Structure 1
Amino acid sequence: MRTALAHTFRSLSVRNFRLFAAGQVVSVTGTWMMITAQDWLVLSLTDDSGTALGLVTALQFTPLLLLTLYGGRLADRYDKRTLLVGANLVSGVLALLLALAALTGTVRLTHLYVAALGIGMVNAVEIPTRMSFVSELVGPKLLPNASALSTAYFSIARVMGPAVSGALIAWLGAGSVMLLNGFSYLATVAGLFMMRPGELHRVPAGHGSSRIVDGLRYVASRRDLTLPLALVAVVGLFGLNFQVTLPLIARTVFGADAASFGLLTTALASGSLLAAFVTTARRSRPSSSLVTGSALLLGLVEVIAGWAPTFVAAMVSLFLTGLASTYFAQAANHRIQLGSRPEYRGRVMALYTLILQGTTPLGSLLVGGVSGALGARSGLWLGGLVSMAAGAVAMAADRRRPDGDPPRGGTPADADVADVLDKQ
């Protein structure tokens, strides 16, 4: 038992990663508290408008669609730790300004739109920087475990944040939740300042070409990267819009209050947490069939969640949906990140972020519109059916061109990197 635990948490033996993980647990918990408060406030101000909720989500994720590749370029060119300090400080200031408006009773829907857009612009830099920074914290050997643990602490935050937020909204109001989130960013900043820079596994800043177009050409030459990225694009567009579907189902299907809405979000996050711990055992680059198969499973359980007849059944099915969605995202993440050369990793993960989260503005508007016209359940049905179809198409395409095929136009070095990672 002790050996299994040590294996699961082996990345925490690295001091810099421990500091980063501790700060992130606090900060991301605050972020999920903020998301719950934001969504509840939007619905309260608009008489449960799915369209308004979808628009707020779209504004928050549109900068990822437009700016994430530039954020990845910055991550490959400049010191990642410095970029992360700046991004967290700016996010904290934006959260505090929105909290002030909510606490003084002057908050309007426009304020939520502006704050969502501002935070999205910061995230366009922060997300690819943070994802590629994990490899600098622990090195390539521990990267699969550290990546899975990163998802685990994000999932812990998704469990704690909505549950605590729902209770605090009912007790103190949404403004107090937003205030706590503003100060939570200081935990990550403190952890970054306490790190030992000499222990980071750095690729020298500006090493090689840092142009965006070179990163895109690199990915285009690697079929083992383009297939999972294409699958992530479709699933992200249709199947991962829980920020829109869950509040609508909670209020319009089950008539839930803020605390019960928090429970639904917590059920989804609990499944994600279990999936994250399962994937800590991963030692090597996952196969393409594992990625496509997990997309099929995600689609199936999401359709089942859409049919849930009672609140308890919804919690159970959403737990399974959270498990399947995180397992799929982790499998795709590891396949892409572990197959990428270090000097391109910032731009590759920026492209992954762009595809996974940058499609959210389009997906949230589409799913929000469908849910508004056909009912809240239809959003989950649409996402599940499309995810299943995408997984089946990707699996068929992969069988026609086996996973071991050499990358299109890739260099021998690229093929060697992929082969070594597959065999580790």
Structure 2
Amino acid sequence: MAESPDARPTPPRPGEGPVGTPESQAELPTLAMEALGEREPRGHVRLFGSTAFFRLWLTQVVSATGDWLGFLAIAALATRISDRPEAAVGLVMSARIVPGFFLGPAAGVFADRFDRKRLMVMCDVGRALVLASLPFVDTVPGLIVASLVMEVFTLLWAPAKEASVPHLVPSDHLTTANSLSLAAAYGTIPIAAGLFSLLAELSDTIGDFELLSVVRGTQEGLAFYFDAGTFLLSALMIWSLPLPRRRRADRGRGAKRVEFGAAWRELREGWQFVFLNPVVRAVNLGLATGLIGGGMLVPLGPVFADQVLGAGQSGFGVLIFALGLGVAGGVITISVFQRRVPKEWTFVVAVFVAGFSLGTAASMSALELAAGFVFVLGICAGCVYVLGFTMLHEHVEDELRGRIFSALYTLVRLCVLIAFAVGPFLSELLGELSENLFDDGHVGLFGVSIAVPGVRLTLWTAAAIIVVAGVIAAHSMLDAARKELVTGPPTVHRGGGAPPDAVEGGGKDG
């Protein structure tokens, strides 16, 4: 329903203060449920917080399954069409990371200035069109260009989605909502892998049909078409969500046309908030740098499992399984105990323990012990992810939320790039240094000879970086606690209590 120019805010109810006051914060869950048509929690609403978020979560499951399926298909296609498959896969995957450094913050401005639902729908349709064209790409440069375009759409979609979550769930369900989002993002990996295998069998079975040769119905081609279908389905599901229409005052001028001067000012405002707000600063540092440790297990894990643990490629599989199992355990644990633990200090402790766990795992020479500490690392990573996103939702105003999440994604991409690109190079450099400084790469400690190959030194370095990030995060949390003692707890409008007239017809605006 369109809003008249002289529309007035809905008068507060008895006992309810203006939006943003402590009284209204206590009412936000009720208001959010009423605005979304959920007056009494029932069935899945008890877990997801609202029917609307349950539908958004289903959208995430569909979209994430397609994302991982496309990831596998692109890697397989790059391997098949290149004479140097390792380099080809590295280049194509780097193309999915690099754009975030240049476009990530600007994407947050778009998420804050434009209608988020329309933005997400346009991005899903755009990704579907790109994927539908990939079966006809037979060069590595073509794959790189397609990956760049795909990443631009993803950069726009992600902060818009994250900034929309508080509109769909009561504030006391944010931690659970973030846990479920993590499950949707990473729990779909085995589903995508299974689908990719099934599509290989399907391609072999129906490969003799002439029509399939025309549309490039190979294993990768079928995967790309299936992936495109998941994004189209995601677009339809998002279009039906009851996301509130954002007032022009909330979006700022330029809803139809980007004023780059204003966009730059908003971008600068978002990044200033990242560094000036102590809680947001702690979350960004903890989440982003934590990925350096976890990310380095991917390129360095096979070398560590083979050279240090003597377990070969199967040992690497055990380490990755332990990491994934730990993440799942961390998500479940923090979801169960979310209301019994202080989020800020649990987050800091989890960052510290993650660093020590990685360092200890790298010090082990037996697969079982290393996998055990990697499991602990996964638990901490799951806790850090869920608590970090929840605190961002709770401490950031709605008009800044898109920029804050895009800043986080930029830092995350930087750390993943460091893990993937710098990790192997640093491992080789430290390996040569170890051979020159120590006797055959071994150092004696209390009469025991300890191997210090480059991969172990690199993982120790990654662990040290995470511990330093924990120190900085703890300092930031202390700053936040001191400010709260002086000024009182912050009041943040999370968007959950939007009046019904802002939500009415949410699936029909257009």
Corresponding residue of 2:180:
149
Residues 14-413 of structure 1 correspond to what in structure 2 (within 5 A)?
14-43=50-79, 45=82, 49=86, 52-101=88-137, 107-165=138-196, 168=199, 172=203, 173-197=219-243, 200=244, 204-207=247-250, 211-237=266-292, 239-241=294-296, 244-245=299-300, 268-281=323-336, 282-283=338-339, 286-303=342-359, 320-370=376-426, 382-383=458-459, 385-392=461-468, 394-395=470-471, 398=474, 401=478, 403-406=480-483
Given that residues 293 and 466 in structure 2 are in contact (C-alpha distance below 8 angstroms), is that contact kept between their aligned partners in structure 1?
no
Given that residues 297 and 388 in structure 1 are in contact (C-alpha distance below 8 angstroms), is that contact kept between their aligned partners in structure 2?
no
Secondary structure (helix, strand or coil) at the match of 2:250 reads: coil
Given that residues 21 and 153 in structure 1 are in contact (C-alpha distance below 8 angstroms), is that contact kept between their aligned partners in structure 2?
yes
Give the direction of change, closer, same or farther, for the CA distance of 1:380–1:134 in structure 2 (3 Å limit): farther
1:417 to 2:491 alignment: yes
Whole-Å Cα distance in 2 between the matches of residues 132 and 380 of structure 1?
A: 39
Greater Cα radius of gyration, structure 1 or 2: 2
Instruction: Report the more deviating stretch, 68-77 or 326-335.
Output: 326-335
Whole-Å Cα distance in 2 between the matches of residues 251 and 109 of structure 1?
A: 30
Deviation, structure 1 residue 41: 4.4
Deviations 1:159-197 (A, max 9, x none): 322344356558743333333222211221121122234
Secondary structure (helix, strand or coil) at the match of 1:141 reads: helix
Deviations 1:8-55 (A, max 9, x none): 963535222122111221221121122233334445645563x54443
Whole-Å Cα distance in 1 between the matches of residues 350 and 47 of structure 2?
A: 25
Whole-Å Cα distance in 1 between the matches of residues 454 and 85 of structure 2?
A: 16
Given that residues 175 and 387 in structure 2 are in contact (C-alpha distance below 8 angstroms), is that contact kept between their aligned partners in structure 1?
no
Given that residues 32 and 158 in structure 1 are in contact (C-alpha distance below 8 angstroms), is that contact kept between their aligned partners in structure 2?
yes
Give the direction of change, closer, same or farther, for the CA distance of 1:242–1:134 in structure 2 (3 Å limit): farther
Deviations 1:248-273 (A, max 9, x none): 8899997769xx99997666444433
Whole-Å Cα distance in 1 between the matches of residues 428 and 147 of structure 2?
A: 21
Question: Normalising by structure 1, what TM-score?
Answer: 0.77
Deviations 1:360-384 (A, max 9, x none): 3344221243467769x96686356
Deviations 1:380-411 (A, max 9, x none): 8635642444324533773594541218xxx9
Instruction: Report the more deviating stretch, 335-344 or 308-317.
Output: 308-317
Whole-Å Cα distance in 2 between the matches of residues 279 and 68 of structure 1?
A: 29
Whole-Å Cα distance in 2 between the matches of residues 237 and 33 of structure 1?
A: 24
Structure showing the higher helix proportion among its residues = 1
Stretches of structure 1 that go unaligned for 5 or more consecutive residues are: 1-5, 102-106
Whole-Å Cα distance in 1 between the matches of residues 66 and 146 of structure 2?
A: 16
Given that residues 319 and 374 in structure 2 are in contact (C-alpha distance below 8 angstroms), is that contact kept between their aligned partners in structure 1?
yes
Deviations 1:187-217 (A, max 9, x none): 21121122234xx4x6535517672122223
Deviation, structure 1 residue 85: 0.4
Whole-Å Cα distance in 1 between the matches of residues 54 and 291 of structure 2?
A: 30
Whole-Å Cα distance in 2 between the matches of residues 262 and 170 of structure 1?
A: 24
Stretches of structure 2 that go unaligned for 5 or more consecutive residues are: 1-41, 204-218, 253-262, 433-452, 495-510
Give the direction of change, closer, same or farther, for the CA distance of 1:237–1:262 in structure 2 (3 Å limit): closer
Given that residues 40 and 247 in structure 1 are in contact (C-alpha distance below 8 angstroms), is that contact kept between their aligned partners in structure 2?
no
Whole-Å Cα distance in 1 between the matches of residues 312 and 142 of structure 2?
A: 27
Whole-Å Cα distance in 2 between the matches of residues 378 and 91 of structure 1?
A: 40
Fraction of identical pairs, as percent? 17
Whole-Å Cα distance in 1 between the matches of residues 118 and 423 of structure 2?
A: 37
Whole-Å Cα distance in 2 between the matches of residues 76 and 412 of structure 1?
A: 28
2:250 maps to a residue whose letter is H
Secondary structure (helix, strand or coil) at the match of 2:295 reads: coil
Question: How big is the alpha-carbon RMSD for the aligned residues of Structure 1 and Structure 2?
Answer: 4.1
Give the direction of change, closer, same or farther, for the CA distance of 1:133–1:386 in structure 2 (3 Å limit): same
Given that residues 302 and 312 in structure 2 are in contact (C-alpha distance below 8 angstroms), is that contact kept between their aligned partners in structure 1?
no
Instruction: Report the more deviating stretch, 66-75 or 270-279.
Output: 270-279
Give the direction of change, closer, same or farther, for the CA distance of 1:21–1:249 in structure 2 (3 Å limit): farther
Whole-Å Cα distance in 1 between the matches of residues 319 and 378 of structure 2?
A: 11
Whole-Å Cα distance in 1 between the matches of residues 357 and 455 of structure 2?
A: 13
Give the direction of change, closer, same or farther, for the CA distance of 1:8–1:353 in structure 2 (3 Å limit): farther
Question: Normalising by structure 2, what TM-score?
Answer: 0.65
Give the direction of change, closer, same or farther, for the CA distance of 1:59–1:273 in structure 2 (3 Å limit): same
Whole-Å Cα distance in 2 between the matches of residues 285 and 217 of structure 1?
A: 29
Whole-Å Cα distance in 1 between the matches of residues 98 and 171 of structure 2?
A: 31
Deviation, structure 1 residue 125: 0.8
Deviation, structure 1 residue 75: 1.1
Instruction: Report the more deviating stretch, 310-319 or 345-354.
Output: 310-319
Whole-Å Cα distance in 2 between the matches of residues 7 and 278 of structure 1?
A: 22
Deviation, structure 1 residue 88: 0.9
Whole-Å Cα distance in 1 between the matches of residues 250 and 74 of structure 2?
A: 41
